[in-house]
Structure 1
Amino acid sequence: MTRLKDAVEHIAKAIISQKDYLNMLDKAIGDGDHGNNMAIGFTAALEDIENMNDDGNPSKVLKAIGTAFSENVGGAAGPLYAAAFNRASKACDENTSFTIDSVIKVLGEAIEAIKKRGRVKPGEKTMLDVLLPVYEVFVKGKEKDMTLFQCLGEASRAAKEGADYTRTISASKGRASYLGIRSIGHQDPGATSSLIMVRELYNFFQR
């Protein structure tokens, strides 16, 4: 089960490598520290995961990421990602494996946690504008008997479209909401970090 650990490491390194880009996006409509916060969270998560006795347990891995974010990351996105990963971990058991069904279950729980913690809904220029279309890809993929890899490819494209969509709408949550319609034209940094995670998961399995 080293593959799960490797996938997380790949995603974490991708986030960390794009720290400055995420900061730049956040500087336009927020505090300018989203990249730093994401890098701090994933660096802490990697340290915890590497010290695990059983890194093949998806619940433990997701819990480690959630705990790392809750204990080390502030800002707007930190608590949302913490809530998402912690609730996702509770949706897993020792028999959970990487399948379309498990993605639907785990991602669905993560989305509900974000909705509850952030009191957000689609169309408010947040990470939900990426994660909900990704979730819908897996639901429709199951109906169409698509493979997991096919769903990941479609999810990566849907995530990109979702992040692009955030440029066209005004923010109504967080610091960006203070800008009102002036936030239009700027891509949401939280949506972008979610895009990177989805895209890099696909890239990892594409190798």
Structure 2
Amino acid sequence: MSTALDTAFFAAWIEEIARVVAAEKEWLTGLDAAIGDADHGANLDRGFTAVAGALAAKGPDTPGSLLMLVGNTLIRKVGGASGPLYGTAFREAGRTLGDTPEVSLAQLHTALEAGLAGVRKLGAAAEGDKTMVDALAPAVRALEQAVRDGRDPAEAIGAASEAARTGAEATIPMQARKGRASYLGPRSVGHEDPGAASTALVVSALHTVATSW
């Protein structure tokens, strides 16, 4: 694939996220039913359906403006904690990219790192708290290492996707320390965090697009 990621690439990523979330919404909601409000999958599906409509209507001309629109739409359309958290992640990533028409792999890492920082700040969450941070932080680290190693984009994003999936699965034995799941105390142990699970899907969607670009 090309080492320069343009607006069409990011649009394809968002389209793939919408497809995967729609396909997995019942699974995500099932995870959320165990330790949350049982609405995570439905909320994200509604949000990314709205995002698809917003992108079709506006047609942003840079990766940064596209991600900003995604973030703003999610904040407006998605209830619960996931809208503000995902919305912040996409907005911070978009803000970091600015108005550049093409994004390098290193710039993608910087953007995702900014998104992670936004999520950490808004949710006051750290790794080990059983949240989406447990999937996103390892993904960002893996991408950073892949950039340092000079790996091509598909391989580098694949490493990030694998790290996100591993991080999400690692939340199963954790006791939640943030969010609604934390109210359950020890009863939150034994369940995969739905936010971490959906984050792994989002990064996996990025890898799917990268392998075919």
Normalization by structure 2: what TM-score?
0.92
Once residues 92 and 191 of structure 1 are traced to their aligned partners in structure 2, the CA distance between those partners, rounded to angstroms, is 24
Q: Deviations over 1:36-60 (max 9, x none)?
A: 110111011110111124x341112
The structure 2 residue matched to 1:63, chosen from 44, 64, 68, is: 68
Q: Deviations over 1:55-110 (max 9, x none)?
A: 34111211111111111112122111111111111101222534221122101110
Once residues 166 and 28 of structure 2 are traced to their aligned partners in structure 1, the CA distance between those partners, rounded to angstroms, is 17
Report the equivalent of 2:16.
10
Once residues 116 and 36 of structure 2 are traced to their aligned partners in structure 1, the CA distance between those partners, rounded to angstroms, is 22
Q: Deviations over 1:4-53 (max 9, x none)?
A: 32221112111122111110000000000000110111011110111124
Once residues 96 and 143 of structure 1 are traced to their aligned partners in structure 2, the CA distance between those partners, rounded to angstroms, is 23
Letter of the structure 2 residue corresponding to residue 84 of structure 1: A
1:159 is aligned to 2:164? yes
Report the equivalent of 2:115.
110
Report the equivalent of 1:93.
98
Normalization by structure 1: what TM-score?
0.95
Report the equivalent of 2:176.
171
SS at match of 1:171: coil
For structure 1, the residue ranges without an aligned partner over 5 or more in a row are none
Kept after mapping to 1: 8 A contact 2:64/2:95: yes
The structure 2 residue matched to 1:46, chosen from 36, 44, 52, is: 52
Once residues 111 and 101 of structure 2 are traced to their aligned partners in structure 1, the CA distance between those partners, rounded to angstroms, is 10
Identity %: 34
Report the equivalent of 2:4.
none
Once residues 65 and 71 of structure 1 are traced to their aligned partners in structure 2, the CA distance between those partners, rounded to angstroms, is 10
Letter of the structure 2 residue corresponding to residue 85 of structure 1: F
Kept after mapping to 2: 8 A contact 1:156/1:199: yes
The structure 1 residue matched to 2:138, chosen from 133, 136, 140, is: 133
Letter of the structure 1 residue corresponding to residue 160 of structure 2: A
Once residues 3 and 96 of structure 1 are traced to their aligned partners in structure 2, the CA distance between those partners, rounded to angstroms, is 11
Give the length in aligned residue pairs: 206
Once residues 10 and 61 of structure 2 are traced to their aligned partners in structure 1, the CA distance between those partners, rounded to angstroms, is 6
The structure 1 segments of at least 4 consecutive aligned residues displaced by more than 4 Å after TM superposition are none
Letter of the structure 2 residue corresponding to residue 13 of structure 1: R
Once residues 24 and 82 of structure 2 are traced to their aligned partners in structure 1, the CA distance between those partners, rounded to angstroms, is 16
Question: What's the Cα RMSD here?
Answer: 1.3
Report the equivalent of 1:30.
36
Once residues 169 and 96 of structure 1 are traced to their aligned partners in structure 2, the CA distance between those partners, rounded to angstroms, is 41
